[in-house]
Amino acid sequence: MTDEQTTIAIQRYLDALPETAPEPVIRELLERAAARLRLLCATLLYRSYPRLTRPPLNLDADEMLGGVVAGLLQAMRTIRPQTVRQFFALATQHMRWQLNDLARRLDDQPPVASLADGGVAAPPSSQVSGLTPNARRMLAAIDGLPSDEREIFDLVRIQGLTYSEAANVVGVSIKTVQRRLNRARLLLAQDLAELRPEESNASAKPADDLRAL
């Protein structure tokens, strides 16, 4: 099924949802959206939270999808997205919540010292944290963007949609997508200026330091 067919099918489910939809109906909707939700989970996990994919958590996209679906089942008992745009915005929010929560829990765990040669405990790694302070700072800056700019940044930079696909989801022109993305990049570059190395090339694009996100 193409992205366009998936979008149409999801919208039909959303249009047909009663005000108090039973859980089986919501499950049918989530099953239809599962392939795209899994892709979004994998994109966000491996691009922005790669440390969570390694020991001790070894999180993968399928496991993450299970948690996201459980969260959406709970949320959609009271929240009724009216459009595909609102549905995936809600899903992305739950993905972020889940990953941030896992990263915080990982940070709170005491580092496990491995035994070096000779049976002497090796010094704890500085990479134990689920997210570096800079990565946390970047994610907080993204969350602090104006809603329109944050939505486009999520769709294009996090979810990997093309300008045309993002325009269709949001219901705006490609020019508007480009303008909002450029504004998001500019705002992030300004907010995260202290993270840029002093020797940065003045001609670099505003979002060069955010490519990992």
pLDDT recorded at residue 212: 46
Radius of gyration of the chain measured on its C-alpha atoms: 20
d(CA 207, CA 213): 10
Domains assigned to the chain: 1-107 (no CATH), 132-213 (1.10.10.10)
Residue 152 CA to residue 138 CA, distance in Å, equals 16
Which has more confidence, 136 or 117?
A: 136
Alpha helices (H) in the chain, listed in sequence order: 3-16, 23-32, 34-48, 61-75, 84-108, 133-143, 147-153, 163-170, 174-191
pLDDT band at residue 132 under the 50/70/90 scheme: low
By the 8 A CB rule, do 157 and 176 touch?
A: no
195 pLDDT band, cuts 50/70/90, is confident
Euclidean distance between CA atoms 46 and 41, whole angstroms: 8
Peptide bond preceding 124 in cis form (omega within 30 of 0): no
Closest C-alpha among 212, 68, 200 to residue 138? 212
Question: For the segment 12-70, what is each residue's pLDDT rounded down to a tens digit?
Answer: 999 888 777 678 889 999 999 999 899 889 988 888 888 899 988 899 999 999 999 99
Taking Cα atoms as reference points, which of 172, 187, 174, 180 lies closest to residue 153? 180
pLDDT, tens digit, for every residue of 66-121?
Answer: 999 999 999 998 888 988 888 988 898 899 889 888 888 887 776 554 444 444 44
Q: Using one digit for the tens of pLDDT, what is the confidence trace for 153-187?
A: 988 887 777 898 888 878 899 999 999 999 999 99
Nearest to 156 by CA among 145, 170, 144, 166: 166
